[in-house]
């Protein structure tokens, strides 16, 4: 299957296309819109979230709410206008202004903001929710939690407990302004944002832990080295704005091989592992354990107290311009990472078991 996302940040709309989606899948647009609201929430979001109220329209590929097998086309209208009216020739450190200008040589740097803006993740979120609805048919769930913001973080060992009781901790997460399931850590994260981002007119990065549960062994392939499940995770997750690192599985690689590998065992006649340091993937193929992905985000680049820059037209040293932005995007990005992982797993199921009708795919998927 193939997924495409087009549109400009301040253009009429953002558009997503899903090709080869199977027929027979009932799509609940309310669930898509719920995820779009999650993307716009979270402590530290900027003023644009007050201007937009994202809702999806599906204009092709549905008949009475059921997919037909034709390409599915999703549209999210843009309401916010570009706050910069004049041509801009001063690049902002950390943005794509200068690197894109170096390639495309269009003098108004506002042009590059349109494609580089995180606005396109609205459609990524919508497409990913379609993927989550598809995965529900197979008993698969993806879920994300904030792992760290700035200097405040959840100990990785706590995520072992989270995986044992995902529903409980997801409910706890949803009650937190920073999407962290531990109240004491949430309070410290909010204080970190207040003291080290808002008061200092700067931004903070952080990390997110994402899980996919009940994924069967054998999804993916080693045939194409650049199309393995872990290769796709790297490719897709690193496309998310501000993501600078992705880690699959247990992160302490200082231990030796005997400690790191996951021994086999039999549990009620089923092949299992005594632990899951591999993060659910071996040789680019799922191994039946939970997929575990940690994603690292750099601080947002636009600063209320701008850094030094240069004017590309005059070559004068100047301060970078300030364009509205968030202080922290980590809580809002949880829905983006969990939906991105859902897209990858949906692709693997469809590529491996066909794209005709959901019920036919389920029969092949669950066949022993």
- pLDDT for res 52: 63
- pLDDT for res 2: 93
Q: What is the pLDDT of residues 30-39, one digit of tens each?
A: 999 999 999 9
Long-range Cβ pairs for the range 309-315 (8 Å, 24+): 309/90, 309/91, 309/92, 309/93, 310/90, 310/91, 311/89, 311/90, 312/89, 312/90, 312/91, 312/98, 312/101, 312/107, 312/109, 313/89, 313/107, 314/89
- pLDDT for res 44: 74
CATH class belonging to 2-365: alpha beta
Tell me if the pTM is above 0.85: yes
pLDDT at 80 > cutoff 90: no
Residue 253 per-residue DSSP state: T
Q: Span 118-146, mean pLDDT?
A: 97
Q: Span 89-110, mean pLDDT?
A: 94
> What mean pLDDT is reported for the chain?
94
Q: What is the pLDDT of residues 265-297, one digit of tens each?
A: 999 998 999 999 999 999 999 999 999 999 999
**How many CB atoms neighbour CB 187 within 10 A?**
15
**Is residue 48 very low, low, confident or very high in pLDDT (cuts 50, 70, 90)?**
low
What span, in angstroms and rounded, lies between the C-alpha atoms of 246 and 333?
A: 14
Handedness of CA 323, 84, 6, 39 (dihedral sign): positive
């Amino acid at each position: 299957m193939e997924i495409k996302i087009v549109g400009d940040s301040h253009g009429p709309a953002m558009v997503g296309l899903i090709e080869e989606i199977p027929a027979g899948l009932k799509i609940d647009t309310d669930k898509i819109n719920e995820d779009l609201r999650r993307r716009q929430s979270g402590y530290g979001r900027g003023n644009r979230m007050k201007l937009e109220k994202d809702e999806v329209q599906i204009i092709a590929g549905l008949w009475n709410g059921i997919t037909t097998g034709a390409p599915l086309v999703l549209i999210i209208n843009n309401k916010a206008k570009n706050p910069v009216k004049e041509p801009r020739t001063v690049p902002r450190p950390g943005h794509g202004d200068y690197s894109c200008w170096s390639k495309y040589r269009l003098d108004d740097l506002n042009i590059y903001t349109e494609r580089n803006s995180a606005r396109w993740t609205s459609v990524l979120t919508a497409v990913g929710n379609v993927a989550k609805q598809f995965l529900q048919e197979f008993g698969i769930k993806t879920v994300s939690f904030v792992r760290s913001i700035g200097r405040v973080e959840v100990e990785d060992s706590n995520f072992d407990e989270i995986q044992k009781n995902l529903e409980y901790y997801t409910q706890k997460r949803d009650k937190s302004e920073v999407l962290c399931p531990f109240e004491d850590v949430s309070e410290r994260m909010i204080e970190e944002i207040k003291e080290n981002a808002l008061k200092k007119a700067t931004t903070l990065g952080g990390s997110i832990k994402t899980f996919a549960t009940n994924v069967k062994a054998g999804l993916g392939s080693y045939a194409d080295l650049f199309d393995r499940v872990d290769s796709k995770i790297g490719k897709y997750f690193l496309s998310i704005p501000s993501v600078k690192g992705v880690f699959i599985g247990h992160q302490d690689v200082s231990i030796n091989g005997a400690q790191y590998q996951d021994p086999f065992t039999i549990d009620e006649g089923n092949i299992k592992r005594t632990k899951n340091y591999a993060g659910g993937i071996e040789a680019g193929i799922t191994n039946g354990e939970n997929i575990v992905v940690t994603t690292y985000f750099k601080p947002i680049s636009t600063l209320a107290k701008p850094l030094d820059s240069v004017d590309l037209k005059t070559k004068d040293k100047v301060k970078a311009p300030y364009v509205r932005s968030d202080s922290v995007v980590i809580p809002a990005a949880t829905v983006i990472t969990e939906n991105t992982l859902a897209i990858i797993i949906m692709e693997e199921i469809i590529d491996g078991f066909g794209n005709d009708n959901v019920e036919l795919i389920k029969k092949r998927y669950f066949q022993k």
